[in-house]
Amino acid sequence: MERITRSLTTEEALAARSWYVADAAEVSLGRLATRVASILRGKHNPAFTPHVDCGDFVVVINASKVRLTGNKADGKLYHRHSGYTGSIKTRTAGQMREEMPEELIRKAVVGMLPRGPLGRRLASKLKVYAGTEHPHTAQQPKELNL
């Protein structure tokens, strides 16, 4: 007699979404990004499926206080190019942390997510704020230990 096991469907996995808040103050950028990407992906969930969005929402606060180890503040470069001749712009990680810390963390986390429609859907569940205030208190986010 064959035994039938029932697995979770994608609808059941999507119904169990929760919110997490991560404090980036004095936390290494890479360690923060890997932990946040794992939560967004849903790898902590027993119903994890690689091709399904079964992750949770993550709110990152204190992005301006993230730690850059070694000489990354001066040596790590971020480039952007509009496509026109001579229009490449380059910033160091230190400049990014001063001017737009939200984008520094967003780039680190999104670089660890899959490419394509699934990765874009996962990236939309990441909320990053430079200070301690965020508008997601109504969702009652749980503290994410880094």
- Run of H or E including 130: none
User: Which CATH number do you get for residue 139?
Assistant: 3.90.1180.10
Taking 60 as the threshold, does the pLDDT of residue 13 lie above it? no
Query: What b/e sequence results for 108-129 when a residue is b if at least 16 CB atoms lie within 10 Å of its CB, and e otherwise?
Result: bbbebbeeeeebeebeebbbbb
Mean pLDDT, rounded, for 97-110: 96
Residue 5 in any domain: the answer is no
Between the CA of residue 108 and those of 6, 30, 91, 120, 138, what are the distances in Å?
37, 7, 15, 14, 27
13-16 long-range contacts, CB within 8 A, separation 24+: 13/42, 13/45, 13/47, 13/49, 13/52, 13/54, 14/53, 14/54, 16/45, 16/47
HSE-up of residue 78 (Cα within 13 Å, Cβ side): 19
Q: What is the pLDDT of residue 10?
A: 60
Residue 96 in any domain: the answer is no
Residue 82 in any domain: the answer is no
Overall domain count for the chain: 1
The predicted model scores a pTM of 0.87
Q: What is the mean pLDDT of the chain?
A: 91
Residue 75 in any domain: the answer is no
Residue 17 in any domain: the answer is yes
d(CA 27, CA 40) in angstroms, rounded, equals 18
Residue 46 in any domain: the answer is yes
Residue 74 in any domain: the answer is no
pLDDT band at 146 (very low <50, low <70, confident <90, very high): confident
User: By C-alpha distance, which of 66, 131, 132 is closest to 97?
Assistant: 66
The domain in which residue 40 lies consists of: 12-69+101-143
Residue 3 in any domain: the answer is no
DSSP, residue by residue, 56-101: -EEEEE-GGG-B--TTHHHH-EEEE--SSTT--EEEEHHHHHHH-H
pLDDT band at 49 (very low <50, low <70, confident <90, very high): confident
